[in-house]
Chain A
Amino acid sequence: MTAPLTPVCGPPLLPLGFGRLVLFPSHNQQARVLLGFPWLLLLSFLGYLIVCLHDPIALYRFKMSMSFPNIRDLLASFSPSLDFFAISSGDGRIKIWDTIKGQLQTEFSDIAPSDASSLLSQRKNGHLSLDYTCMKWVQLEKKRKKKPGNSILVLGTGNGDVLALDVSAGQLRWKVSDCHPGGVTAVSYSMLRRYVYTTGVDGMVCQIDTSTGSILGRFRAFTKPISSVSVSADGKILATAAGQLKTFNCSDNKKIQKFPGHPVAVRCMIFSEDGQYIVTSGVGERHVAIWKVGGGKKQSAICILSMDHPAIFLDCKKLDNDGKDGEGLSVLAISEMGVCYFWYGSSIEELGNCQPTRISVFLESKKKFDVAIYSAKLLDVPKPASGQVFVAYGSLVKPSFQKLLVQYGVDIKLGDFKGGVLIPIDSFSISQKGQTMDMKETVTALDRANAEDAILPVPKLYAQDKKRKHNVTKLITDIKNVEVDPIINKNKARSAHRKVVLQRMEEDGTICIEDRLKALGIVTEKVDLRTKDHASSPTNTVLDIYSGRKISVDVNMPPKKIRAHILSMSSIDACKSLEVLISALKKSSVSSKHIFPWIYYILVNHGQFIISQDSSVQMLDSLHKMIKLKCAAIEPLLKLSGRFQLIMTQIDKAAGMKASMDERHGEGDKMLDEDEDIVDAEEDDDEDEEIDEMVYGEDESSSDEDDQHQT
């Protein structure tokens, strides 16, 4: 291989400024990309030694030092549905990673053809004989349903063969031997068409059927080796590039346009989704160029995006929600150093002026991992100046996969695993946008006494000024039973700070219920009531209507009868009769002693329906107020009766007339019971005790006073 070689392309400088990249056409019409002079410098600075051997040509690449990530020779591709990621690091092995699990799914090292009986494929020695030069995951059919086996991995080799790998079945689907003598350089496919285009160093473009692997057609695009190929999304235009760019019509393979292109070989080239632009990057060139399709014959790049290192991967996406054409382009590029660049511009001019947003892998200083971003895919542009990017990053041993929302202008640093590469560890780092939070977490254990410093609910007395309860029995209980329910108005509690209002009993000043009702506006003057439309005794008639039977409310009835009557009524009738009863109560046209059992049974039996009625809220409110006032009145009455009793006992004691005392005491009890019946039929026994205690407490004090007076 020491035949005189003539450089074809100029020597662009590599990142470190050493070495040259030269294209040599060899004696047998084959060309090799070779890293030239001087060997030792290349060894030490680039980490690669490439040796050209005789036929069959194989490239042995020695990875030398790992001082910085070098991902130039890496082939990486996401599956169309993004659930798998294929990566080949140039040693003839293809690893398939499951992006959801983050685990290695399978590995292809030596692909045996599915048809073992064919004699055409002689066994090569080991995986090193397969030298992959390009890789593309091709979706076979555009189907709505995500189906396994619907995609193949198309690979080009340095021998000039094109292979299609059925990844899910784990076998070779088809193989085109010696498709491009000298080596395949690029693969491209369109979603709409059922074939792939491959290009080789022989300057030919080959069209291959994806399902069978038969060559449908081939034509010469360049006399020089083609370095990149791309098909537009609609499958109509094919772009090929060596240094120059040429576009072809796919249907008749006629040349459409020619661009000056790059002075070096084009490394990657893609069409924008609508086929309006071609985005390219050259080998070793630290910029990305954008070309407009369909302009004049010879056009220069309309936009140059500069990078710190040469790009090895490109993706671009147009903003969908923008109505106008040619606007809102997002471009994604990955540099040789494994840093992802993201540009966004609402127009091409703006795109040319903007600074890239970088996504890089956060490298911890003490660990020398070979970490980089290997591949990325722009998924979606939810809104202007942002993009959803699916990236594969981390170390080659175990890449990680993440979906990122990139906001233009905000650099992202991805965290990597802290401990081992493969060993799951308890301590971990949480990577978040823009920052990494390191939390060396040890497991905390709490024992039974886990609530020592916890806040306890404080049983305080809260007023329930505006509170409405849907259940009238509970409502009454709450008034008496505030110690149990710490209740605060909901609105107050929502305004974060606690506001504790102590329950205050109604002042003892006024006892007359009627006055207070009047003051609250519940009971208006009796004159007004009489002028109302209601007949003299509306309750009876109403109940008659709804029940169909003649039952008088005025008559003292046994509770069982009332209950049976109420139960026979429908909810709506009950609701209406409740209305009538309450109005009767307001007017005190019927004795409250008789009305209250009716109201009670209606509420108990039809309570849920009545509460659900919006109109009943006011009614219940007024009933509530009335009963509250009555309750307030009862207490002084009880006090009075208690004092009365005490005085009577004292009188009786003094007189020695015990029999009469018993009688009166019994009367007092009866009265008390009646009151309670009216107010709250469901009152618990302990509440009774409370009342009694209160009464006697008062009595004691008053009796003391009395005693003092007597003495």
Chain B
Amino acid sequence: MIPGGQSLVSSPPVFSHDGKKLLVCTGCTVSIFSTSTGMKITELEGGHTDRVTSVVVVPVAAPSSKFISYCWTSSIDGTICYWDFSVPELIKKVKVQLPIHSMVIPNISCTPIGSSEKTSNHYAFISVEDPTISADENKAFRGQIQIYNLTKSRRVRGLLAETRKPELLSVSKNGEFLGITNKRKLDIWKIPSNDFRIEEIKKIKLHHTKKLTALAFHPKLRMVAGGDVTGRILMWIGFGRRKFSGDSQATNKKKNLTDEEKPGVRNNDDADSCSTWHWHPSEIKFLSFSSDGAYLYSGGKEGVIVVWQIDTGKKKFKPRLGSPLLYFTESPDPSLSCVTCADNHIHLLKMPTMEITKSIAGIKLPFSYPVGHKGLCTQVAYDETAGLIAVLTEDYCVQFFSLFDNHEVSQVQVCKRNFQPVDDVTLYVALVSVSLDGSLMGTVDVKIPEDGLGGLVSLKFWMRGSRIAEYSLSTVIYEPHSDAEISSLAFRPGHCMAVTSSFGGDFKIWIHNLGIKLNDQLHQKTGWRCQSVGSYKGRPMTAAAFSADGSVLAIAAESVVTLWDPDSNVLVAVIGDTHSPITSLSFIGNSEYLVSLTGGSTPQLAVLTTSKLRLSWSYKLVAEALSSSRDTSQFSVLVLLNSQCGIEKENGVILLFDVEDPVPVATWMVKKAKGGSLAFVPANPSFDEIKAMDGEKPSLLVYVNGDHEYIIFDPHNMDNRIGKSSRTSQIALEEAGMFGYASIYGDLSNLNPKQDQVPEITFAPSERPWETIFNGSSHALPPLTKLCSTFLASLIEKKPSMNE
């Protein structure tokens, strides 16, 4: 089992105390990268079972203890872990029970390791979520800020604050102040350096007129900067002089001051002055003061780091980072810092000049299609032979990511256009498909019409160069189906042929001319051309697939599957009649079976036989993705669970079927199934671990979830599943746990719901309906009225009424 594709940008990264390592939260592990090479050194794993949310590196004081490197991490699973990350080794675990969204340890800098001072207690301020309060209640306070004594592993009684949702905590460098953004104000607490009694912690509020999104404390001065949704930066200078001083005399004196003497400060807030800077056109994502306190760094969606000189307010820019920015982290080494981009990249910057020295690239994250996109929502394709996943990106690229190596291989720019994150989306890559051997790639990009004008769909065919995942453009076809959008693109195995189906009601078969060497005047005709056009009753073509040997082309014409001879363009047969349009279609291996997925109001997973031209078996399931194995007669389906509970909305089940048998061979529960996809990939022989894992069975199943995190596992190896079940909880996919068939269906396993038997079906409503749905095939579910009464009634009553 190989997890991968973790997000590098879920939480801000942290530098180690010597600035040579960068600790990045990657799923439920923390990956440690070298800042000099940009390569991954090691990983902190085994401590957390859910997403790690924050890392706090313990500072060191004396040079003798230079090699000691410890850190605290917090996670959604409700634990705080203490690590020695040079080894790496888990030292201590503190259980909090509530999901931690943010953690800071303000007084950690006061007592660094190795200093002669007696180590006092470490107090962690954690922002937790109370899961007992449901999110539906508008006024509920789901977030709490609690204090934990880490040395004694004990919670300090009392709550610091309650918030609507768990907030990100910020702390000043010396650990004196703690702040959160709370809607239109900043809440700031002054933390006493030693004795902790929650009543003694004083709080001030600084008000603003807009929702605040980021804050930063000045490392030396009593100054705080806040950024709001409109892109303004506010700097409060001398905050909390009245309240935090603790001197009542001084408080009285200050009160005499009138508001005019406090320029820019609202609501008689406790600050000397407040100034506003404005450059960013959109929400501020991060604010960060430089360690010497002379500069302020800010950034947001437009992908530009702005460096403000605090004295003068002069600006310096670092533009063209190409993606919305999320975090900015300064290292103890003044010449190094890093910026985290929303496209799952971390750039290490050489500091005064801000040039990118190294980049740590993760898999590109999914983007949302613009309104009006009709086709499939999967943004990935697979180069199965090379073990690569092709991911569509927002910046008009296709990123090739190595599944087994878990790192980026290449990026192919589909549209030669500069991506600006702030611009309105006018162009997007809608579809990508890679041929079975990886030698051909097809992409579809769509230009969105403005006021109904200027829309353009273009189909591009690419050919691979000498290296894997290196493609160059071969042919561009503008408006391949006139104005209609392309619903699917499939390559014919073993041939230079592709098919595109469109919602406009036709499909086209494209071939690549190879006989170019014969005569030179044919040079114009190289590349791809349309070989044939087909349609079926003018219905929209919603899916297309070639059989494994390439001899049959199956096209879904809305609700029926039409089989064509791809060479002569002859309609061979028509199978099936679903109630809703078919969304996905696939041949199963070399068998004569065909699987179709139907969405809409009456979802269906149907297995059709091409030899008998009829439906073999079907289920009423909302399936998100489909993948069939090349060499066996198995296929897997990713099924969404429509549970009423809001939290489990995105959970799904992977079902592995053998085509002959409607009872699934294996089942796995997964999270974030919406937008996920599946693929069978052959095991990479150069990796020892896979060899040891699966032995002779070479085919592995890849599940990519909606956040482009993935896991590769052997679907046939039951031992692996059971043996590793203790580990599954730690993997990034956050699988709830894998179950063998027996553990789910238990007593049902000896029941054999073949079609010729009389199915004994009980219709008692179960709490877990997806488990009982497999009791028998859906043909034999007797009162059909119960399942889709309205639909059938409309179907049947139409004709008799006409005849009468």
Contact = CB atoms under 8 A, between A and B. Distances in A.
Interface of A: 81-83, 96, 100-102, 105-106, 117, 144-149, 166-171, 379-380, 388, 390, 400-403, 415, 417, 424, 426-431, 439, 441-448, 450-451, 453-457, 467-471, 474, 484-488, 490, 493-494, 496, 498, 559-560, 563, 567, 570-572, 601, 604-605, 608-609, 611-613, 673, 677, 681-682
A171 B36 contact: yes
21 contacts: A81-B687, A101-B410, A170-B34, A171-B34, A390-B686, A400-B466, A401-B467, A402-B467, A430-B466, A443-B527, A445-B477, A446-B477, A446-B478, A454-B532, A455-B531, A467-B613, A490-B613, A494-B552, A494-B565, A567-B784, A612-B755
Given A442-B526, A487-B571, A560-B800, A149 B465 contact: no
A168 B614 contact: no
Given A426-B472, A450-B530, A613-B756, A457 B41 contact: no
B482 A448 contact: yes
Interface in B385-426: 402, 405, 407-410
A447 B470 CA distance: 26
B646 interface: no
A146 B689 contact: yes
A465 to B, nearest CB: 13
Given A446-B529, A490-B613, A106 B571 contact: no
Nearest to B483: A448
Given A441-B474, A444-B475, A494-B551, A429 B466 contact: yes
Interface stretch (B93-101, B138-146, B487-495, B533-541): B533-541
B615 interface: yes
A144 to B, nearest CB: 4
A100 B686 contact: no
Nearest to A470: B614
A455 B478 contact: no
Nearest to A436: B466
Given A102-B470, A570-B782, 9 more contacts: A100-B407, A102-B467, A169-B39, A444-B526, A454-B509, A457-B571, A470-B614, A485-B571, A681-B803
Contacts of A106: 36-39
A488 B572 contact: yes
Contact of B571 (A144, A170, A488): A488
Interface string B19-41: 01100000000000010111111
Contacts of B464: 430
Nearest to B39: A168
A170 B36 contact: yes
Nearest to A499: B570
Interface in B684-706: 685-689, 692-693
A447 B467 contact: no
A81 B565 CA distance: 45
Contacts of A402: 466-467
A147 B21 CA distance: 17
A469 B618 CA distance: 18
B615 A608 contact: yes
Contacts of A677: 803
Listed residue (B39, B480, B482, B530) with the most chain A CB atoms within 10 angstroms of its CB:
B39
Interface in B781-804: 782-785, 792, 795-796, 799-800, 803-804
Given A169-B34, A470-B613, A147 B42 contact: yes
B51 interface: no
Contacts of B570: 457, 486, 488, 493, 498
Given A430-B466, A563-B796, A605-B796, A441 B472 contact: yes
Contact of A149 (B40, B63, B552, B576): B40
A430 B464 CA distance: 8
A484 B552 CA distance: 21
Contact of A571 (B407, B475, B572, B780): B780
Given A144-B692, A493-B572, A439 B516 contact: yes
A221 B425 CA distance: 72
A83 B409 CA distance: 11
A545 to B, nearest CB: 15
Nearest to B781: A571
A532 B558 CA distance: 47
B409 A430 contact: no
Given A83-B405, A100-B402, A400-B467, A144 B688 contact: yes
Interface in B551-583: 551-552, 563, 565, 567-577
Contact of A148 (B40, B466, B572, B758): B40
Interface residues of B, number: 95
Interface of B: 20-21, 34, 36-43, 63, 402, 405, 407-410, 463-468, 470, 472-480, 482, 508-509, 516, 526-535, 537, 551-552, 563, 565, 567-577, 610, 612-618, 685-689, 692-693, 755-756, 758, 779-780, 782-785, 792, 795-796, 799-800, 803-804
Given A169-B34, A380-B685, A470-B615, A457 B476 contact: no
B178 to A, nearest CB: 34
Contact of B573 (A428, A455, A484, A487): A487
Contact of A171 (B20, B402, B784, B799): B20
Given A106-B39, A145-B689, A612 B616 contact: yes
B800 A454 contact: no
B63 to A, nearest CB: 7
Given A144-B692, A400-B466, A474-B577, A81 B686 contact: yes
B555 to A, nearest CB: 11
B415 to A, nearest CB: 13
Nearest to A680: B799
Top 9 nearest A-B pairs (CB, nearest first) are A444-B527, A170-B36, A170-B37, A455-B532, A168-B39, A148-B40, A144-B689, A444-B475, A451-B530
A571 B474 contact: no
A400 B800 CA distance: 72
A351 B535 CA distance: 61
Contacts of A493: 565, 568, 570, 572
Nearest to B37: A170
Contact of A496 (B530, B568, B784): B568
Nearest to A683: B799
B341 to A, nearest CB: 19
Contacts of B474: 441, 443-444
A444 B528 contact: yes
A101 B551 CA distance: 35
B544 to A, nearest CB: 15
A391 to B, nearest CB: 13
A147 B45 CA distance: 12
A148 B42 contact: yes
A498 B480 contact: no
A146 B516 contact: no
Nearest to B516: A439
A605 B784 contact: yes
B530 A611 contact: no
Nearest to B402: A100
Given A101-B408, A431-B466, A457 B534 contact: yes
B34 A457 contact: no
Contact of B613 (A426, A468, A559, A560): A468
B40 A450 contact: no
A485 B472 CA distance: 41
A613 B779 CA distance: 10
A469 B466 CA distance: 49
Contacts of A446: 475-478, 480, 528-530
Residue from A144, A149, A444, A467 whose CB has the most chain B CB atoms within 10 Å = A444
A117 B65 CA distance: 13
Contacts of B799: 681-682
Kindly name the residue among A146, A379, A400, A467 whose own CB sees the greatest number of chain B CB atoms within 10 A: A146
B614 A612 contact: yes
A72 to B, nearest CB: 27
B779 A485 contact: no
Contacts of A167: 37, 39
A112 B344 CA distance: 32
